[in-house]
Copies of this chain bind each other. A is one copy, B any other.
Amino acid sequence: MASIKDVAAEAGVSVATVSRALNGHPSVSATARTRVLAAVETLGYRPNAVARSLRTDQTRTLGLVISDVMNPYFTELARSVEEEARALGYSVIIGNADERPDLQDHHVTTLLDRRIDGLLVSPTDGGSPRMLDAARAGTPMVFVDRWIPGVDVPVVRSDGRGAVRDLVAHLHGLGHRRLAIIAGPAATTTGRERVDAFREALAAYGLPLPDAYIGQGDFQAGSGRRVTEGFLDLPEPPEVVFAADNLMALGALDALRARGLRVPEDIALAAFDDIPWFVHTDPPVTAIAQPTRDLGRAAVRALVERIAGRTGESVTLPARLVVRRSCGEPPSAPHPPSPSPVRRSTP
């Protein structure tokens, strides 16, 4: 593969001139520039990004460590991150942690070794030493979706509180009183927050959230199935199951079907994270939709700000409720979110 030296020889100039011509440096004569361009053309020369990175100490690459690519929510997030990054002249390397801290750590290490310019993380756990060190050492970094409390890194995420309140209002209006949740891992912020938001929203109606109605899941379909079976085996099973992500909702649907239960007649189902498939499941699933594209975009922008040495602010975007049929009576019209209940602060 042709190097800059070959181009210099072909054009009859020095490598310095070639470099300058190719990088739009002002002080290159028109003749030199055209000869360089011609040489580049005939040799099919492409600059070696590795060598350039070594010299300039920047790779124009962003790392994205994601909890689980197979989750459509994260797939879409990854896609929007790549899109925005490309628009800004960056490439992105995606690392899939599969909800495993060891894999997450592996990817963080690999990305850091490659000297990426910045790191976007949706942490699976409290954060490995390697990640925490990198954050402290000043590696430009932004958390997306999930974050680690107590670490000085901007967070780009969506706030589901309002939407969860709307959901509970919807559920309550439909007459449901015994509501259960399949929670995400307690090590993740989203795992905890969604349970808290649910509990608060229930409290506004004087409804309890007994421990038996909090199932411990891990954001994977299998756990949704297991937890749902546990709920059904209770002396008094819930009337509604709210899954804290779409994969666990899929698992719940599996379990319900296996028991021959009808949704929503026998039991209602709702999910956090909306995906195109929820329109076509039997029945269509009521879900809380995050502004995924906007999250990805905002995260990249914040990270690039950080890389440029500026602040890079945290961003919180609201999620919204999408009512379908899995909780009861079909929505009368393409209606706005049901009127919120009386809002009062946590008791």
Contacts and interface: CB of A to CB of B under 8 A. Distances in A.
Copy count, this protein chain: 2
A96 B78 CA distance: 10
B70 A79 contact: yes
Contact of A281 (B47, B86, B257, B281): B281
Interface in A102-133: 106, 109-110, 112-115, 133
Q: Is the interface of A mostly helix, strand, loop or mixed?
A: helix
Interface residues of A, number: 45
A280 B279 contact: no
Contacts of A342: none
B91 A94 contact: no
A210 B282 CA distance: 33
Nearest to A114: B49
Contact of A76 (B70, B106, B114): B70
Interface string A30-66: 0000000000000010111111011000010000000
Interface of A: 1, 44, 46-51, 53-54, 59, 69-70, 72, 75-76, 78-79, 82, 86, 91, 93-94, 96, 106, 109-110, 112-115, 133, 137, 221, 250, 253-254, 257, 276-277, 279-283
12 contacts: A49-B114, A50-B114, A50-B115, A69-B78, A70-B75, A70-B79, A75-B75, A82-B96, A91-B114, A94-B94, A281-B282, A282-B283
